[in-house]
Amino acid sequence: MKKNHKKAKNKSLIWRQFKKNKGAVIGLIVFCIIVVIAIVSVIVFDFDADITAVKAADRLLPPSKEHWFGTDNLGRDVFARVCYGAQYSLLIGVVSVIISVVFGSLVGAFAAFVGGWIETIIMRLIELLLMIPGILLVIMIVYTFGASIPNLMLALGLSTVPHFARNARASVLTVRNNEYIEASRALGASELSILFKHVLPNAISPILVQATSRISGCIISAAGYSFLGLGVPSPLPEWGAMLSDGRPFIYNYPYLEIFPGLAIMITVLAINQIGDGLRDALDPKLKR
């Protein structure tokens, strides 16, 4: 019991710092609402009946009581589609960042911890990946394996691996020469357990902050690639794909673009605010 209490005390320090940032708290609330919407819409809306079914009679209706955000050129309810689309954006953002965080920071941390020529080789290889423009990498992967959500996640994840590897390397470099690392070596701990038990936990906060802000980057990229037809295939209501579908009607029916666009903007803004708040809360130099 006591232990839990103490641990909570340490965490509450970060939480207290986070709470001071009003934008971050609002961002967190908005983000939670979006997550709830994503979950609820999966339960409430039927994929075939509400999301993809073509209803010729309801084509291009303006926003009304019946259809809050209006309907698109195939008579589909835009509100339902925007809500249903939240899950794709969130999933793509989170999963692709997890891919790059796990892979990138492990590689970077390992390189920095081992040092020497191994580090040089690993980091040059990673930078080779950095040399390929992100969009080219996505086009390559999508054209080889086909346009689907998992492939898009993989492509987005891979394209940010170098950034995480470099960041992880940098923060491990600052940690690995600390005396407590030397001390646990003098205690007889093995190199691998030192890396995972002492180096990574101390180097994790910059990686965590970067990961949070990368989620929003990935959501924007995913929408962009879907808009270009490289991402989520069309009948699925991904926000970027919806923008693409509505493009021919933008002059007469702007709400087809406004609502998915707003959804992207609000989500990204919320996540960025959380990232900012986390950065301030985890930065030991700013800690009061």
Partner 1 sequence: MKIFERKNIIVQQPEIFEGEYVLDVEDLKIRYETDDAVVYAVNGIDLKLKRKQTLGLVGETGAGKTSTVLALLKLIPTPPGVVEAKKILVNGKDVMTLSDKELQHIRGNEIAMVFQDPMTSLDPVYTVGEQIAESYMIHDKLSKKEALEEAKKMLEIVGIPAERSTDFPYQFSGGMKQRVVIAIALACRPNILIADEPTTALDVTIQSQVLDLMKKLNEQYQTSTIMITHDLGIVAETCDEVAVMYAGQIVEKGTLEDVFENTKHPYTEGLFNSLPNMNDRNSKLNPIKGLIPDPTIVFAGCPFAERCRYAKEKCFKQKPTVKHLSESHQVKCLRYDEVDFKIERALK
Residues that bind partner 1 (CB under 8 A): 2-3, 6-7, 10, 116, 178-180, 182-190, 197-198, 201-202
Minimum separation from the CB atom of position 28 to partner 1 (A): 24
Q: How far is the CB of 204 from partner 1 (least distance, A)?
A: 9
What DSSP assignment string belongs to 196-223? IIIIHHHHHHHHHHHHHHHHHHHHHHHH
Q: Which two tokens stand for residue 169?
A: 């390397």
Q: Are 85 and 263 in contact (CB under 8 A)?
A: yes
Q: Decide whether 48 or 179 has the Cβ nearer to partner 1.
A: 179
Distance in Å, CB of 116 to partner 1, minimum: 8
- CA distances 238 to 30, 55, 61, 224, Å, are 19, 19, 20, 11
Q: Count of CB atoms within 10 A of residue 51's CB?
A: 19
Query: Residue 243 and residue 278: Cα distance in Å, rounded?
Result: 31
| Shortest separation between residue 185's beta carbon and partner 1, angstroms | 6
Query: Smaller CB distance to partner 1: residue 81 or 198?
Result: 198
C-beta of 57 vs 188, nearer to partner 1: 188
Closer of 58 and 119 to partner 1 (Cβ)? 119
We find the least distance from the C-beta atom of residue 4 to partner 1, in angstroms, to be: 9
Q: Which CB, 64 or 178, lies closer to partner 1? A: 178
How far is residue 210's CA from residue 163's CA, in Å, rounded to a whole number? Answer: 9
